[in-house]
């Protein structure tokens, strides 16, 4: 990475509580009265006489001190950083959209894909995981992800939400532009929640509820938080005061951010991370009873279609909100999300139609999610043509991911988490390195010192950096997931009994039924 390289509009890192410096200085100066002078015979003449050299020196000293004190008072009265109200509203609305993606979007999407006897189990797993992660985010997650620590994990400045209040502010991606830290806290918390909820689709219909909860705590702590810090944390644009300051800023930034990895909204942190964990879980927990021997079909594709539509709608906040400012970058991310998703649907349906003779609603819904996943790391970094290509390629590759690749892997990834989020995330991450090139309509690499894109961009070098990000994510997530699943297996247990699985988790685990006969 060159000394001034950084992701164009990468996610902000260090947040600082606003401190008002408007209190006037308590320093004061006293001037002793002049020594008494004997009265002269002619007072009028004395009054008209010019001041002596000594008197003029005293006057000059007094004026100098008054000027110096005035400067001190002026510095003390410097205004606190100003919050951008428009950007604040945009980030808060985007946070709400991301929450809406999970509840009810992802829950409905997953709920329609499972059998009717397991629909409530997947709904409650989504809801409970979301709530659990939100609490953990406030207790320690936000601090470990987005405060200064080392290259791999953050510090403890915000543990137990210390210092988080209505007065604390944080940087955006433009020098001198700020939003409330609480807005960023909620926005990023919603990302953490949906990432953990994504995983449960990989081992749906056979996992213990307690096992899901314990796994979530372990994986969130030791996989999600380090990845978020490594990819997205940096001290903010205001830290780039000069070329000489760059090395110091990089030393305080996350490992992959400092290397120059581009991930606008979570291709590695969210999608590849969750997909790898889900794939590991499907291996450790094992296949569902009857998998490969009997048809296991979705019970309600109408519900899945509604869920996919909500995901597409909410994803505009997920991607465009990651700009943290209501400006051109947000608009570009919004437009790219719109086009890439559409291109993926068309590509998936075309290949499916040619290969199977019929297009399917499940294929269209899956293609939409594939496009959304793939454009996530590239959303604000590539041009419209790049978004179309990324979406189309993802549609084709993810169709292969849920069919040919799934057979090769031999895993019962129940709801194709790896086939869509893993394959789509890897596709998007690597193609970001290609289409972020200015020569292909991309934004290039942003230099925070000069506040402009760097003139040179090497596609090969950037793709290599992107690949490193993918590999780091895959290794960390797989190792943490394997250890977490083994801990769960030997404590609360992972898999329900055969009898409970045949009966369905709605009744056996939760004592409820989604549909009354």
Residues forming beta bridges with residue 495, ordered by sequence position: 207
Domains recognised in the chain with CATH numbers = 85-510 (1.10.3430.10)
Strand order in the sheet with 168-171: 15-17, 168-171, 178-180
Query: What average pLDDT is seen over the chain?
Result: 89
Reply yes or no on whether the pLDDT at 45 is more than 70.
Answer: no
Reply yes or no on whether the pLDDT at 375 is more than 90.
Answer: yes
Q: Residue 327 and residue 330: Cα distance in Å, rounded?
A: 5
| Residue corresponding to tokens 């929640």 | 193
- pLDDT-based confidence at 81, cuts 50/70/90? confident
pLDDT digits (tens, 9 = 90+) for 54-69: 655 565 555 555 555 5
- DSSP 3-state of 495: strand
Q: Residue 56 and residue 74: Cα distance in Å, rounded?
A: 27
Q: Which helix (H) or strand (E) holds 168?
A: strand 168-171
> What average pLDDT score do residues 367-374 get?
99
| β-strands 446-447, 178-180 pairing | unpaired
Six-digit token string for 425: 């995330």
- Peptide bond between residue 104 and the one before it cis (omega within 30 degrees of 0): yes
Whether residue 428 contacts residue 266, with contact meaning beta carbons closer than 8 Å, is answered with: no
How high is the pLDDT of residue 60?
Answer: 58
How high is the pLDDT of residue 51?
Answer: 52
> What average pLDDT score do residues 261-290 get?
98
Reply yes or no on whether the pLDDT at 24 is more than 80.
Answer: no
Whether residue 262 contacts residue 8, with contact meaning beta carbons closer than 8 Å, is answered with: yes
Six-digit token string for 469: 């990000």
Cα of 516 vs its chain's centroid, Å: 40
DSSP string, 66-127: HHHHHHHHHHHTPPPPPB-HHHHHHHHHHHHHHHHIIIIIIHHHHHHHS-GGGHHHHHHHHH
Whether residue 18 contacts residue 167, with contact meaning beta carbons closer than 8 Å, is answered with: yes
Whether residue 117 contacts residue 505, with contact meaning beta carbons closer than 8 Å, is answered with: yes
User: Shortest CA distance to 271 belongs to which of 396, 398, 417, 468?
Assistant: 417
> What average pLDDT score do residues 308-318 get?
99
Other CB atoms closer than 10 Å to residue 331's CB: what's the count?
13
Reply yes or no on whether the pLDDT at 50 is more than 80.
Answer: no
| Residue 348: partners with Cβ closer than 8 Å, 6 or more residues away | 363, 364, 366, 367, 370, 395, 396, 398, 399
Percent of the chain with pLDDT over 90: 82
- DSSP 3-state of 167: coil
Six-digit token string for 133: 């992660």
Counts of helices then strands in the chain (DSSP H, E):
22, 5
Q: Residue 60 and residue 409: Cα distance in Å, rounded?
A: 86
> What average pLDDT score do residues 154-167 get?
96
| Residue corresponding to tokens 């991911």 | 401
Reply yes or no on whether the pLDDT at 52 is more than 90.
Answer: no
- pLDDT-based confidence at 6, cuts 50/70/90? very low
How high is the pLDDT of residue 14?
Answer: 38
Q: Residue 167 and residue 390: Cα distance in Å, rounded?
A: 41
Q: Which helix (H) or strand (E) holds 171?
A: strand 168-171
* Of 10-14, 68-72, 150-154, 211-215, the least confident: 10-14
Tell me the helix, strand and coil percentages in the chain, rounded to 5. Answer: 65, 5, 30
């Amino acid at each position: 990475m060159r000394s001034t390289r950084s992701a164009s509009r990468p996610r902000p890192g260090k947040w600082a509580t606003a401190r008002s410096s408007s209190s006037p200085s308590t320093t004061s100066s006293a001037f002793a009265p002049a020594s008494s002078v004997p009265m002269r015979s002619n007072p009028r003449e004395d009054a008209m006489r010019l001041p002596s050299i000594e008197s003029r020196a005293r006057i000059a000293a007094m004026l100098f001190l008054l000027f110096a004190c005035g400067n001190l008072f002026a510095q003390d009265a410097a205004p606190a950083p100003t919050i951008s109200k428009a950007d604040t509203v945009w980030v808060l609305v985007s946070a709400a959209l991301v929450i809406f993606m999970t509840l009810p979007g992802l829950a409905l999407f997953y709920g329609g894909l499972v059998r009717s006897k397991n629909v409530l189990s997947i709904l409650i797993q989504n809801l409970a995981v979301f709530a659990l992660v939100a609490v953990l985010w406030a207790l320690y997650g936000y601090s470990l992800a987005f405060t200064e620590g080392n290259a791999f994990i953050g510090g403890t400045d915000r543990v137990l939400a210390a210092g988080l209040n209505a007065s604390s502010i944080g940087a955006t991606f433009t020098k001198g532009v700020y939003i409330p830290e609480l807005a960023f806290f909620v926005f990023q918390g919603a990302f953490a929640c949906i990432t953990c909820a994504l995983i449960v689709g990989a081992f749906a219909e056979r996992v213990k509820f307690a096992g899901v909860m314990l796994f979530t705590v372990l994986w969130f702590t030791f996989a999600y938080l380090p990845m978020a810090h490594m990819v997205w944390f940096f001290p903010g644009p205001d830290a780039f005061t000069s070329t000489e300051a760059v090395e110091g800023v990089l030393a305080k930034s996350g490992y992959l951010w400092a290397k120059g990895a581009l991930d606008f909204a979570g291709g590695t942190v969210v999608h590849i991370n969750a997909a790898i964990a889900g794939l590991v879980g499907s291996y450790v927990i094992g296949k569902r009873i009857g998998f490969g021997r009997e048809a296991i079909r979705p019970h309600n594709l109408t519900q899945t279609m509604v869920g996919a539509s909500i995901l597409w709608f909410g994803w505009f906040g997920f991607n465009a909100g990651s700009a943290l400012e209501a400006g051109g970058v947000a608009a570009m991310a919004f437009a790219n999300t719109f086009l890439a998703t559409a291109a993926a649907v068309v590509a998936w349906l075309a290949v499916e139609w040619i290969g199977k003779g019929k297009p399917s609603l499940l294929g269209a819904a899956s293609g939409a999610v594939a496009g959304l996943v793939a454009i996530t790391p590239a959303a604000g970094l590539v041009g419209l043509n790049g978004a179309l290509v990324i979406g189309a390629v993802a549609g084709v590759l993810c169709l292969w991911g849920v069919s040919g690749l799934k057979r090769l892997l031999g895993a019962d990834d129940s709801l194709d988490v790896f086939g869509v989020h893993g394959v789509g995330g890897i596709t998007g991450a690597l193609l970001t390195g290609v289409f972020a090139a200015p020569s292909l309509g991309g934004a290039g690499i942003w230099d925070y010192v000069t506040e402009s894109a760097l003139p040179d961009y090497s596609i090969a070098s950037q793709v290599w950096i992107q690949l490193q990000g993918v590999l780091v994510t895959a290794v960390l997530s797989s190792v943490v997931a394997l250890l977490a699943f083994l801990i769960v297996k030997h404590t609360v247990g992972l898999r329900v009994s055969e009898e409970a699985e045949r009966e369905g988790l709605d009744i056996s685990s939760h004592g409820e039924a989604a549909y009354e006969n």
